Structure 1
Amino acid sequence: MAKVAFIGLGVMGFPMAGHLSVKGGHDVTVYNRTPAKAVTWVEKFGGKSAPTPRQAAEGADFVFSCVGNDEDLRLVTIGPDGAFEGMKAGSIFIDNTTASASVAEELAAAALAKGFAFLDAPVSGGQAGAENGVLTVMVGGDETAFDHAKPVIDCFARMVGYMGPTGAGQLTKMVNQIAIAGLVEGLSEGIHFAQKAGLDVEKVIGVISKGAAQSWQMENRWQTMNADKFDYGFAVDWMRKDLGICLSQASKIGARLPVTALVDQFYAEVQAMGGNRWDTSSLIARLSNADRKA
C-alpha cells in the first residue's frame, strides 16, 4: 500500500481515484476545485480529502492529476498552494491530463529541481474506460520512475506503455487523437451514406465490422450515431482542445495534418449547433443537419 494523492475529480479522475483506493488498496487523499465533489468521493470510496493540492500531496509517494488543460495543470502544480510545494523528495507526480508536450517539459524540470520525478501520462478510453478500470496510459519521463509508478497506474489501466523521455506520453496521445478524428469522420460519413442509400445500417455494420473497416469507434458508437444520440463519451469541447494541441505541435515540428485540421473545423460546426457537450461521435449530426437545411 502506498500513500497516494489524486487531484481533479472530473468524469475521468473520480473513478480513476476510486480504483486506486478500492482495487489498489492505497491510502488516497483527493483534492477537487469544487469541494463538494471531493466530499462525495470520500463518501463513496473512503480515504480523505484536502482543501488544497499542496495539502493533498504532503507526504504522498505518488501524486496523480487529471485536470482540464495546461493552465489548470500549472495551477494545481506550481501555482499558489500547488502540489509541488507539498511533495517530498523521491516521490513521483503522474499527470493524466491531456496537455501539451511543452508543459510536460516545463513541469518535469520544476519537479527535478525539487528532488522528485514527473511523468506525463495521458489516458485513452473515455469515461467508460475510467469507470471500468481499463484505460490505456501513454507515459513519458524517467524510465526508472515509470517502473516504480507502473504498478500503481495499473489500478485503473488495461495497458500502460512507456513511450520515451518527457513529453513522449503527450506526443503519443496526440497521435491517438489524430487517428480518432479521422476514424470518427469516416464512420460518420459511412453511416450517413448507408442511411441515404436506404440500407439496413445494422446489417451493414454487422458485415463491415468483421473486415478491414473495423474499429473501436465502429463497435462502440455505430448504434448511438445511427440513433442521433450523443451522450456517451468524450465531449466535443474537449476534443477541440486536444486537436488544437495536435495542430499547434504539428506546426512546431513541420508535420502536415490536413484531415485533422478539416475535422477540427467540422467539430466547430457541431459546437455552433449547440453540441459542445455532445460526445465526439456527433460529427454525424452536422451531416444530418445539412440535410435538414437543404
Structure 2
Amino acid sequence: AAGRQDDRIQDWYLIKVVPSIDTFDREAFVKELCDEVLHRLDAASIPSRTCPVILHREAMTSLLGAFAGLFSGDLISKGISPLKGKLHEKIFSDKITIIDDPRNTDALTIANFDDEGYPTRRKLVVNHGVFETILHNQQSAARMQTESTGNGFKGGYASPVSVSPMNLYIEPGDQSLAQLEERMQDGLVITDLEGLHAGIDFVSTNFSLQARGYLVQGGKRTQSVTLITAAGSFMELMNDVTAVGSDIDWSYRQLVSPSILFGKMAISGE
C-alpha cells in the first residue's frame, strides 16, 4: 500500500499466513496496513539522544538474524564468533532464552532431519542468558570433537551444507507491545532497521543502522520517526533487557523474535 501527502510518498507491505481464507479478516488486515502507511506520512527526524528503546518484533527479528551466526559451530571453531570459549557462561540478560527447534509446529516449515540426514531436535541455545548449545553440522562437529546437532542445511539445491539455525526464536514474555510502551513511558520504538548487510561488525557485534519507528510519550504512540541511525553493540544490548514482549509471529519465517524493551540505545538524528 502507498500513501501520498503533498510531495511525500510512503509505502509499506504486510504479509500474513492464515490457516483458512474463509476466516481471514480482510478488513482488519487492510486497516492495519493503511493505518501504518498513514502514520509514516508524518514521519520526521528527531534530535540525537540516548533513550530507552523498544525494538519492534520486525526490527528485532532482523537484528537477531544478522547475529545468528554467533551460535554457529563453524564460526566458533574458526575463532570468528565472539562466543568462542564461552559455552556454559552467561552471555545475555537472564530475561533472554533462545531456542532452536526444527520440529516446532508453530513454524511454517519443519524438518525431522537436516540435509545431512541427522535427526533434528529442540535445543536450548541460550537458557536465561547462559550459552548452553553450539549449533553444528557434521563438519563443524568433527572439528570440535562432538556430534552434529542436526543443523546442517543447504541454502539452495546447489549450495553446500552449512551450519544454519532452523526455527530459532527468542522465547516470548507475557507483555504485549502496548504494555511494553506503557512500561517504557518515554522513548522510541524502532520498527525497521536497514543496511544490515553493511552496518554490522560481526566480530565485535557493533552495529550502526538506518532506522525508523515512532516516539512514545506517556506510554502512548506519538510522532513517527525516520532518517535516524541506531548504534550499539549486540552483546551489550542483549545484556540491557528490561522486558521481552509476547508478540512473536512466525508467519513465513524460520527465525523470529518478539518485541524487546531495552534500557537505552544511542540514536543519531537531525
TM-score (norm 1): 0.22
TM-score by length of 2: 0.23
Larger relative contact order (CA 8 Å, sep ≥ 6): 2
More strand by share: 2
Looking at secondary structure, tell me which structure has more helix per residue. Answer: 1
